């Protein structure tokens, strides 16, 4: 890509993350969550003329049901943006939100747009993880190379744990640290800049009187972090997936991936606004960060969790940077096993990886995660006075993605 100008992030906001399927947003539509995030991002740049926005690119891993019918365009209109603003929904599973940011940045960087919205939305309460009508192509089973496409994500984590020799004890310790860091960040108010509160309205019948009771509450914190998490409690959880098998099909022992050392199924949305330097000057905007680079790489589907190990070096090469330059890394904790394997192989500094906890504690609303964690990074870089940050994750069917941001 020949770059003619830089793309700057001038606003970044996200909703709290709710637990699925029985959490605070269990009855809240994902497009409604996205509208809240979009309006909050727009409120951060009151000088910006909404008519200058060309397009809204929104990541969504399962774009059907309540988040179907091109949720990007629908949410853009429901948020009050003018009809001139377009909308397109993109799907790269867990990297959907990050891919949306990269696509929006590229439109600006090649000079074809000056203002773009990049976002992500997912309700795992209302839309099942595999969708309402999963149908895997039977040719996936024609050879061993592609069978991993049909694996449940937990089985891929078991494969990684086995191949990279990540113990159950290490996974549980990593999970506990995620909760501890998330709780500490919540108590210190470190998420305040990025989170936009969501008002939840519940309508319940009073069976004794026959009247409708309307309850309203404001959600302003992520629901997942647990103050009472302990190693003992995590150790008591049973493996959630089948035990790994050897080449002969025999179980190699008990599995190690549990509900406690895996990411939480979740609901949430995030939104960012990206602009060119011309727009910065025209509307007197203060940039939060510059989008530096993006890379995606494929890996064998059966060990999809190792994807960031390939994507991170590629993104660093594109940016002409090294791991030592990264002051903050949001490594999506799909599973403790794959996170530890990536950190182990690349030699990532634990002090800069998920300083405020990760998906094991905070949740992972699939297609929204990239946008949500990007909001975390751009605000954290400014708050902690660090220059470069990264968002990276593994991706279903065998991929890894990584994006780099620079504090301005």
84 neighbors 51 (Cβ within 8 angstroms): yes
Q: Is 196 a catalytic residue?
A: no
Q: Which of 179, 196, 364, 379 is catalytic?
A: 364
Q: Is 60 a catalytic residue?
A: no
Q: Which of 60, 94, 179, 196 is catalytic?
A: 94
CA distance 251 to 239: 14
The residues carrying an active-site annotation are 94, 364, 394
């Amino acid at each position: 890509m020949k770059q003619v100008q830089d793309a700057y992030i001038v606003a970044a906001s996200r909703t709290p993350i709710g637990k699925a399927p029985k959490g605070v947003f269990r009855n809240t539509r994902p497009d409604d969550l996205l509208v809240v995030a979009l309006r909050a991002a727009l409120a951060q740049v009151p000088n910006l003329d909404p008519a200058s926005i060309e397009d809204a690119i929104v990541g969504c891993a399962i774009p059907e049901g309540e988040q179907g019918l091109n949720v990007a365009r629908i949410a853009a209109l429901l948020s009050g943006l003018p009809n001139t603003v377009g909308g397109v929904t993109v799907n790269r599973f867990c990297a959907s939100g990050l891919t949306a940011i990269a696509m929006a940045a590229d439109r600006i960087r090649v000079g074809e747009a000056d203002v773009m919205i990049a976002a992500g939305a997912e309700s795992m309460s209302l839309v099942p993880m595999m969708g309402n009508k999963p149908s895997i192509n039977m040719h996936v089973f024609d050879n061993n190379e592609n069978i991993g496409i049909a694996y449940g994500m937990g089985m891929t984590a078991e494969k990684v744990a086995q191949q990279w020799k990540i113990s159950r004890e290490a996974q549980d310790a990593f999970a506990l640290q995620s909760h501890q860091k998330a709780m500490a960040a919540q108590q210190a108010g470190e998420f305040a800049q990025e989170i936009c509160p969501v008002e939840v309205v519940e309508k319940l019948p009073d069976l004794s009187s026959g009247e409708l009771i309307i309850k309203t509450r404001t959600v302003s914190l992520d629901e997942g972090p647990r103050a009472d998490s302990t190693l003992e409690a995590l150790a008591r959880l049973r493996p959630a997936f089948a035990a790994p098998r050897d080449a002969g099909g025999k179980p190699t022992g008990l599995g190690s991936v549990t509900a406690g050392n895996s990411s939480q199924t979740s609901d949430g949305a995030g939104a960012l606004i990206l602009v060119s330097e011309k727009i910065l000057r025209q509307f007197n905007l203060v940039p939060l960060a510059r989008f530096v680079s993006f890379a995606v790489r494929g890996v064998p589907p059966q060990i999809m969790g190792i994807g960031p190990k390939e994507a991170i070096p590629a993104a660093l090469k594109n940016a002409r940077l090294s791991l030592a330059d990264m002051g903050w890394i949001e490594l999506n904790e799909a599973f403790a096993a794959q996170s530890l394997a990536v950190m182990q192989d690349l030699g990532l500094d634990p002090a800069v990886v998920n300083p405020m906890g990760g998906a094991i504690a905070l949740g992972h609303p699939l297609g929204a995660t990239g946008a949500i964690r990007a909001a975390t990074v751009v605000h954290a870089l400014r708050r902690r006075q660090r220059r470069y940050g990264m968002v990276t994750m593994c991706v279903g069917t065998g991929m890894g993605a990584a994006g780099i941001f620079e504090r301005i």
